[in-house]
Structures are given as C-alpha cells and as structure tokens.
Chain A
C-alpha cells in the first residue's frame, strides 16, 4: 500500500548522549551490547526509601563565568553532552553554513533545574529568603537550560522548551521537524535533558511506582520504575546530498489519551494512535516497521497499555525491546535518549536487548528482544515516549 507522506523527512546529522550508560554514544553503544544494568544506589542526595537510579556519576563540567546564573545540574548535563565527540563542532558548522539566526533550539525537559531549586528551598526555610545566587527564570522554569544552550552556542533562532512530562523530548523532535518543514529554520538543535531530583523520585514513590531493585520492563513480575537522568542532543537539518548518508527522522505521531492524569488508557488507545499517526504522517504502513523501541517503564499499567497498543496496531508485530532496565527512566529526556539508542541500532545494525527481562508478560504478544540481536539491519524504527496527562509521542526513524 502506498500512502503519500504529509510531512517531509529531516536528516539527523549528529547526535550525542550522556547517561548512566556512559558519557558519550560510544560508551552507550558498549553498554547496550553488554546489556548489564547501570542502575545503582543514589549518591547525589538522601531519600527515605530503597531504589536504584540511573545517575551520571562522572564529573560534570563547570558553567562558564558569564553564564553562571544558569548554573544547575541540568545545564551541566547538557554542557557535558555538548562537549562530547565533536558535537559542538557540528553545531558550529551549521551556524557557519546557515547563520546563527537560522538555527533553532528546542529543549524537552520535565525537571529543568528543580534539583538546584530544592537546595535553595533548604536555605529559604533556614534564612527566610532564597539564596542571592538563585535565579528562578534561569534555573527552575522549563526554558532555563534551553536559554543556557542558546547563549553558550551563540544561536539566535527560535528557542523554547516543550515540557509534557515523559514525552517532552520526543515532542521536541516533532516541533523541530515542523520548524524545518515550515522554512522557519535551516537546522535545529534538539536537547532532551533531565536531572535526578527529590521531586520526581519522591513523587513517583508517592504514586507507588518506584522499584526497589533494578526494573524488569515488560516482565511478568515487573514491579515499578527506576528514575534516571541524562542529556541527549540531536542536530536536525534539511535533507540533501551532503547528508544523504545520515539517518532520517520521518515523522513524530502525537496524541492524547483523554483518560487520566497519571494512568494510561487501559487499552493503550492513545499509544496506538500516536504510533499510527507517525506512520500516517510519513506515508508508511505498519508492515514496514522493523523494530519498536518501547517506552516500557516497567510500571504494571504502563507496560500493559503499551503491549495492548502494539498488539492492536500491528497484525504481525516487529521485534520490540526497552532499555530502561539499563539506564533508568530519564523522564523528559527519555524520548531523545531513546531516539539516540534507536539511531545507534539503525547505524550499527543491531537491536538493543531488554535488560532485566526474565519472563515476558503474557500480554506481550510480540517478539520481545531479551539479549541484544546482532547483525540485523533495521530500516524503519518507531521509538515511543508517553507521559503524564495522557501525552503520547512516537518517533519514526529511517536508516540512511
């Protein structure tokens, strides 16, 4: 069946990632192949319950003196990713090619710099005022790390944050593709950044969703999630001869569950709609999808809904897996982090395993990849990200 595409593809000309699974994409690739969990006890601060987290334990770079007001763990994670593997040089190349005003920046985040605000609140209760170096709109509000990256890189194009909980950075990719399709930009930097903080750890604990041990996504015995942190950066440009060897972002499908603030639609209707919408926008059919990178948080209800969604949409489902047992659920960064995982799969010809999987849940009526599958060449990949508010996004990627 031939369906005409409704949105034009864009090229992913560079990508980089910092997470518990490593400081750059090479380390992430090695961790994906090793398939051993990187989740460990939290060292950053104390919490009143047991869990493991995906913490970035290697040193984070300092924010330069002129941008000190933006200093927070979130900005430092973003800066660390920016400085890896020549990514900054790729941004400088697009600035030189198109001009700084034609390069946009979209951040997907849910936490922003709230970790540093939490520390400031301790001083507030002690002293009655926030510390003098606390800058609300440069640390805590959602756009703060976007503004930091814009100033750090000298970008002058559109700059904003999408903050839709755990679908944030998948939707940031959608917004970036539209900026390119609408001729508003010639290149867009997409950043998915979230940092560990008390608010999300204790918040998910209050929802009784936190797992004490390393999580078991899509497993019959899954008992909850592990929170992680990370920064993933992707550089998108219009497709052309000069980037013909780069993978393509074809489309992002988006939908709302219209069901509940923190529980998914029990039949996965919104999740199925998002995946179907990505395929529809790109003019592709379900039969063409080679692999689905599942959202698979290891929460009982989320995994059930997603399993039903895949079974509902795909008469013959492709192989599927989820990586949150490896590096945790990076919340607002998860969409971008797992698109980077999916791009590695496309470019390096493998399928990631589902770290932590022991006995697949009975509702997983699709081939679930337990250990990494090597020497396969997926051409079309869906990567799912679903968030609070029933907010769903599914990213469709194509090999070069």
Chain B
C-alpha cells in the first residue's frame, strides 16, 4: 500500500474557548448522535467520540454499520474508573454493574458497534503520548492487510485533577474515515507513520504535553484547511512519529 486516503473528518471540542482557539472548524458535543437509551449514562468520552465519528461518516457519506473501527484514547473511561476507585476504598462501597462494564477501555467501541448495529471488528488502543501515532499505524496495518475502509476515532475526556496534576484538559475528540490507497474525493493522502525529525509546532507543544490526544492538531489543520506541509509531527517529542501528507484534491 502506497498511502491511505482521508475521506472524512469530524472534530469535537466541548470547551467553547478552546474550540475557538483551534485553527480549523470543530463542534460541540451533539447528543443526537447517541441513541436515547444510551444518552443518560454515556460519558463525556463516549459523547465526544460518537459526535466526531458521525460527522466523519456524514462527510464521507459512508454508513457506520459497514466499517471496522479503531477507538484510541490515552485514559479511556477515566471518570467512570475514578468513581469506582473512590467507592472501592470504602468498606461499604457500592459498585453498579453498569459502571463496571462502562469502565473498560473499549466502552465507546462497544456501544458504537451496538448503536450502529455494526458487526465489523472494533478495537480499542492506548499508547500514552504516542496514542495518535499508534492509532494511525494500526489503521495503516489494517488497511494494508485487508484493504477497504475504516473509522479511526481518537478521544479523551477531562481527567480528575488529582490523578495527573496539570494534565488531562481540555477534552477533545476527532474521527478520521480512512481508505486503503488512492480514492476519489479524498481530502488528502496520509503515508505510513514513521519516526523522523519533524518538530511539533511550538505554539501547541504545552497543550499536547498536558493532553496527548491534542497531538492531531497539525494533521487536522492540514486536512481541514488544505495548508499542506510535506509531513506532520504526530507527537511533541523529537525524534518522534510523523506522517507524510499530500495529494489534496
């Protein structure tokens, strides 16, 4: 496989001030993207992931029910996990069954497959500050081995402040609808993630260091504005993971 084609993008940033600071359009959570029965108990993580994913599918005019999905997140369902951990300390602490099964890293992936009635494989991955890079690499490998198209969703909700002081804010999610090879109607080509010397934009380094999922800002800027460098950094450290981009139509 020479490249992947980006067919659709969705970006969700619930914090209005942060959203306004982004160099490309992003949207607030759209609760209509979550089936009513799931809405009440859905986390911020899931709401953002679904909002971004639906936008990307709509832009590419693809049905979610036919797409394999990769959900990537540094901290996953961290607020549900945090609530459980606080209960577990108490001798009479109560854990609800749904809180437990909603604390797994693949909560968003599982509910996505249920909500979309999608029986295609859904995976959930995490890679700390390399989460975006490894998610793109996983997407590359799936498309290179099996062809077709897939949905990649990266997200992190706001983390409880005491877990990693100074980190875990603001919440952010984005979805990329990717296809194997060159496809008509693409937003751009994305190459195979590789380690290189591209330097991450200094204006976003502090933000990314406190919220690793924001590492996609240069990639999203290229995709959504057409201001296309040859390559973009996927992490704030150098040398680090990067991708070649191009083929803007």
> Which residues of A pack against B, CB within 8 Å?
6-7, 48, 101, 110, 114, 117-118, 121-122, 124-125, 129-130, 136-137, 140-144, 146-147, 156, 158-165, 171, 175, 178-179, 181-182, 184, 198-199, 202-204, 206-208, 254-262, 269-270, 273, 387-391
Contact = CB atoms under 8 A, between A and B. Distances in A.
A256 B121 contact: yes
B88 A199 contact: yes
B101 A159 contact: no
Contact of A257 (B1, B74, B89, B119): B119
B248 interface: no
A389 B162 CA distance: 29
Contacts of A141: 74-76, 126, 128
B195 A101 contact: yes
B149 interface: no
Given A6-B146, A165-B106, A160 B113 contact: no
A7 B141 CA distance: 11
Nearest to A126: B89
A117 B126 contact: no
A256 B119 contact: yes
B124 interface: yes
Contacts of B103: 199, 203
Which size class do B's interface residues fall under? 35 or more
B243 to A, nearest CB: 13
Given A125-B89, A260-B114, A391-B122, A178 B142 contact: yes
A382 B121 CA distance: 18
B104 interface: yes
B86 A389 contact: no
Given A141-B75, A388-B110, A159 B141 contact: no
Nearest to A263: B101
A334 to B, nearest CB: 14
B127 A143 contact: yes
Nearest to B100: A203
Most buried by A among B1, B91, B138, B145: B145
B5 interface: no
B195 A257 contact: no
Nearest to B164: A136
Contacts of B98: 261
B97 A387 contact: no
A202 B123 CA distance: 25
A118 B97 contact: no
Given A136-B164, A142-B76, A258-B113, A160 B127 contact: yes
Contact of B113 (A147, A162, A389): A389
B141 A181 contact: yes
A367 to B, nearest CB: 29
Nearest to A167: B106
A182 B145 contact: yes
B106 A270 contact: no
Contacts of B91: 48
B128 A147 contact: yes
B96 interface: yes
